[in-house]
Structure formats: structure tokens, C-alpha cells
Amino acid sequence: MPINVLAEADAARNRRDWPSAAYYYAQAVEQQPGRIGLYVQLGHAYKESGDFEAALEAYRRFLEEEPDDPDIHLQLGHLYNRMHDLETALQWYDRAHELSPNDTEIAQHSEKARQRVSRVDVENKRQRAMELVQSRRWQPAREQLRDLVVNDGEEDLIAVYANVTKEAGDFDEALRLYDIYRDYAKNHDAASMIDVEIQTAHLYKAMRDIRSALHHYIRARDVEFDLYGHITPDSISGQEIRSCMGQIYTCFWRPD
């Protein structure tokens, strides 16, 4: 009995056996070249198998016959999305949206792609900034981080920006940034309040204001206790408090 290749193709698709689905859909296309919709199924199978070039060729065969079909434009958007070519994906999504402006699914894909494209430049800038920090190139890192925080709204980088500003030697500006970091931590990440106080204390220590440094190390210890109900034996705040006390009360204080 001859094999029904289309039934085999559909069965393989349903069980997500994509290489087999591609194999049988390719045969189905040869047997029934007039059924142009089979190229879409073939493209899906190739895409899910990871053969993006073959998927692109199959989709384009359908597109030649149905240039105004919104779904094929959507599928091409999905394909380029899988290929990590976000700008091209957005072009296909936008064209699909033009062809079917009332389709909410297409509109959502178009908007998501637009947001991701806008994030690409920001993500690249973040990576470059972190590379500058790792190489201890404080001033160019500071400029890059300022642009990210102030202009791109990457508020989660405020701690790094403040730390780099301190390392660059601008203590007054670093102190101002630590205040902003404190507000950010209060609103978004309570656990970071420990780091806020420790970093502020480190700054005062660098400024040789040991009493102010001690004050913030104590605040860090208090935050740690409020959050966790105890202070770990190797707590940074505890170590730094003992160090500061030794520097302030040199006549009689012994850290340990």
C-alpha cells in the first residue's frame, strides 16, 4: 500500500517530529505542487528543525503566490526572530500589521519586536560599560554608565555608576549618587540597602572621614539584622566596624 505522505507529514507535525515532518511535507509538495499552502507547513517544519535557510526558501515560495497574505509575513517575522535578526523580523511584523491592522496577535508581535529592537543598542552599551569597569577604565566607564542611567533609564545600574564615580575620584558626586542608589533600593530591592550603606561607608573611608564611615557601617549592620534577624560572623559591616573603632579609639580599642 502506497504511503500517504501528507498524512505522515501531519502526524509527524502533531507529535513534533520536525525532521520527519519536513521530509514528508517536501514529498507532499512534489506530489501536489498546486497546493501552495503546503509550502507554509514545510517552512514551519524546517524552521522548527533549525534549518532556517530551507524554511526561508519554503516561505518565499508561498509568498510569491500570495504576496498580500498577512500570515506569511507574520511567519517570516517569526523566522527572522529565531535567526536573531530582530530588525528584519520587525519589518515583516510591520508589513503583516499593515495587511491586517485589526489583528491583535500581529499587533502584539510587532510591538514586542519594536521594543526588543530598541533594547539592542542599550544592551550593547551595557556590555561595553561592564567591559570598561572590568578593565578599570573608570572615566570612560563613568561616562558610559551616566548615559545609560540618565538617558536610557537603566536605573538598576545606579550602584555601579556610583561605585565607578567613586573610583574616578569624584567623591562629592559619588555621595550624591549613593543617595539616589538608596532611594532605588528602598523602592526596588530592600536587600540592597546593606550594600548602599557599605558602599557609602567605603566612600567616607576613602575621604578619610572615619567617623562618618563608622556611622554607615553601623547602619549596614542594622539593616542586615532587620532583614535576616541575625548578623553573620563574617559580616563585612562587622569587620569594618571593628576596623573603624580601632582607628578612632587608638589608645584602648583592640579589634579582636
Q: Which residues of the chain have pLDDT under 70?
A: 1-2, 251-256
In this structure, the number of other CB atoms found within 10 A of the CB of residue 34 comes to 5
H helices within 66-208, ranges in order? 70-82, 86-99, 104-134, 138-146, 158-167, 171-188, 192-206
pLDDT of residue 216: 95
pLDDT, tens digit (0-9, with 9 covering 90-100), for 66-94:
999 999 999 999 999 999 898 899 999 99
pLDDT of residue 130: 94
In this structure, the number of other CB atoms found within 10 A of the CB of residue 87 comes to 11
Cα distance from N-terminal residue to C-terminal residue, the chain: 89
pLDDT of residue 1: 38
**Whole-prediction pTM value?**
0.60
